Amino acid sequence: MKLVFNLPHMLRLKAMTQPWEAAVTGADQTRMAKCADAWGYDMIAVPEHFVIPNDHVELSGPHYLQSTVAQAYLAGATERIRLNSCITVLPLQHPIVLAKALATADWMSGGRMMVTFGVGWLEKEFELLGVPFHERGRMADEYLAAIVELWTSDSPSFQGRYVSFDDVAFEPKPVQKPHLPVWIGGDADAALRRAAKFASGWWSFLTPPEKIAERLEFIKSQPGYDGRTFDVVHGLGTTRVGEGHVARDDPHGRPGMNAAEIVDRLCWLGEQGVTVSAVPLPPVSGVDEYLDYAQWVVEEIKPQVP
């Protein structure tokens, strides 16, 4: 089981953020990322929104980074850990510009970038950016195909409804081949079909953990799936956040579980097909106390989980 290091103050969700996290600075995050890198965590993942309408701030909070910028910065501050997003809102970005940004970061980091794409859910955010909300799925499929073409073709060419290019050069290519890992976030059938066609991983959000194995079989039954190695992400605290970031109670996702409880739950998730998980931030008072806990997790818990 790979472990994601939960970097505090990536967002301020009412459902799971503790008060001390709001005081965590970028310099604090850099120090924590360096610790996670040295201790052997597998990944840091960055959430993304561009703007939050005021009527959503109560649940969603106002604080989000631009995922690719933050990933690139954290790659420069570390040496071995992988940098992912959770998620990058694909339809809100120009695919050529995004392909360039991700390829640049992968090239400069020596091949440590990943990306998890989603179609988004916050309609007002789309309106503010002038992107048609109800076309976001079709846009995502087209953007993904165009990005892969730019990353992999020596003479990129693409003709679509939303983006077209021909007779162009595109370098640097990603260091990772055929390209940096693409995962898909979301739970609808359309998201899972997109994962089967384009991705090497799925980040579940609203899917109940007991349904993950069934949904993974759905992905692998799609004509776009070719038998490639496929990761599934489900953090222990994921079930504490419902649709629209509403808080939910789940005894299996509560912070501060003891070692046996954490190991049992991670092993059970592994049996459902989960390959990547995260342990919730415990009720602590600040950065140093959290780092002590995070080191305990990676040194004591991770070796017990296949």
**To which residue do tokens 């780092």 refer?**
291
CA–CA gap between residue 181 and residue 203 (Å, rounded): 13
- Residue 281 has a pLDDT of 83
Quick check: 249 pLDDT over 80? no
CA–CA gap between residue 182 and residue 85 (Å, rounded): 10
Quick check: 248 pLDDT over 70? no
Measure Cα distances from 297 to 115, 266, 301 in Å.
Answer: 25, 12, 5
CA–CA gap between residue 64 and residue 46 (Å, rounded): 9
Measure Cα distances from 51 to 92, 112, 184 in Å.
Answer: 11, 28, 22
- Residue 299 has a pLDDT of 97
Mean per-residue pLDDT, 77-97: 98
Burial label, 34 (beta-carbon count in 10 A; 0-12, 13-18, 19+) = middle
Residues 276 and 18 sit within 8 Å (Cβ to Cβ): no
> Which of 180, 202, 184, 255 is closest to 8 using CA atoms?
255
Which residues, 6+ apart, have CB-to-CB distance to 41 below 8 Å? 3, 4, 5, 81, 294, 298
Rg of the chain's alpha carbons, rounded to an integer? Answer: 19
170-208, pLDDT tens digit by residue? 999 999 999 999 999 999 999 999 999 999 999 999 999
pTM of the model: 0.93
CA–CA gap between residue 151 and residue 170 (Å, rounded): 8
SS3 of 196-217: HHHCCEEECCCCCHHHHHHHHH
pLDDT > 90: percent of the chain: 87
- Residue 283 has a pLDDT of 86
